[in-house]
């Protein structure tokens, strides 16, 4: 892998309103999910002075609309290959809310736990339990760093633990606060779905995952896919920070923990 210190992470949306992340590793650009509009994504690239010519791949976590709304349109317009599991490709074909589907020539099928390369970047997809089929987390490795991306998680599994424990940079779901969900407006049916093994991770379980299994070399933690009704950035960060500071793992006491914003773009240098 070629060394290159110019690494940036951009979050263009995180939550049920639309999810989209961009990792720029030197001149190699990788998008994870396109759940926002093509027009909005193009605007954000212009605002940050980014070149769409550097985008080499789109990775897709799963086929729910808030993650794939514009995957087909973006891929087709720019001729970008879309990497995901066969089941997610099939799920996107069935998703009637995707105005444009991914064209056959741009479909790339990945296998769980089998690394593949985009330029000098190695990527490994791994299974994630959620209420759709073939869901993926991703471990992304380059010469000087490793990032694990993990969203829409119903339960912590041995596979998740394995990949989280390798990551220097972690994007992980912290969807809801238990008390806020219990006392909130959702129906009992929806509450059960969210809490189920194919639903979402709460702040407490995310904190447990981090304190027990995060890499000793962890440098950054970003909390993604926060619920608008059942969580707040302050509650999520305070809950997880408190657990990290109480841990006997000294490397977690000062690790930056940032809640990603739902609709406001953000950028970060990966150091």
Give the pLDDT score at 94: 96
In a domain, 44, yes or no: yes
In a domain, 103, yes or no: yes
Q: What's the average pLDDT block by block, 10 residues per block, for the chain (271 residues)?
A: 72 97 97 97 97 97 97 97 98 94 98 98 98 97 96 97 98 98 96 96 98 98 98 98 96 96 97 75
d(CA 222, CA 117): 24
Give the pLDDT score at 271: 75
pTM of the model: 0.96
The CATH number given to whatever domain includes residue 47 is 3.60.15.10
Place of tokens 């599994």: 157
In a domain, 93, yes or no: yes
In a domain, 151, yes or no: yes
Domain range holding 12? 7-269
| Structural domain total, the chain | 1
d(CA 104, CA 149): 26
Structure tokens at 183: 């006392």
Of 86, 85, 35, 84, the C-alpha closest to 59 is: 84
Give the pLDDT score at 1: 43
On whether the CB atoms of residues 197 and 154 are closer than 8 A, the answer is yes
In a domain, 105, yes or no: yes
């Amino acid at each position: 892998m070629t060394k290159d210190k110019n690494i940036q992470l951009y979050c263009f949306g995180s939550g049920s309103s639309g999810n989209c992340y961009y990792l720029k590793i030197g001149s190699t650009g990788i998008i994870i999910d396109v759940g926002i509009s093509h027009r909005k994504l193009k605007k954000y690239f212009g605002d940050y002075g980014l070149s769409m010519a550097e985008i080499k791949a789109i990775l897709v976590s799963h086929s729910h609309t808030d993650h794939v709304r514009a995957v087909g349109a973006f891929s087709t317009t720019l001729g970008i290959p879309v990497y995901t599991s066969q089941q997610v490709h099939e799920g996107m074909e069935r998703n009637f809310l995707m105005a444009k589907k991914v064209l056959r020539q741009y479909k790339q099928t990945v296998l769980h736990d089998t690394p593949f390369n985009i330029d000098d970047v190695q990527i490994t997809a791994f299974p994630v339990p959620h209420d759709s089929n073939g869901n993926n987390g991703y471990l992304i490795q380059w010469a000087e760093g490793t990032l694990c991306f993990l969203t829409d998680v119903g339960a912590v599994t041995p596979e998740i633990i394995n990949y989280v424990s390798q990551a220097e940079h972690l994007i992980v779901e912290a969807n809801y606060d238990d008390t806020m969900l219990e006392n909130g407006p959702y129906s009992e049916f929806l509450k059960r779905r969210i809490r189920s093994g194919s639903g979402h991770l709460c702040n407490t379980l995310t904190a447990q995952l981090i304190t027990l299994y995060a890499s000793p070399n962890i440098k950054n933690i970003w909390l993604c896919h926060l619920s608008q009704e059942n969580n707040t950035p302050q509650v999520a960060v305070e809950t997880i920070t408190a657990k990290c500071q109480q841990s006997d793992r000294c490397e977690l006491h000062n690790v930056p923990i940032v809640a990603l914003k739902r609709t406001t773009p953000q950028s970060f240098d990966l150091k």
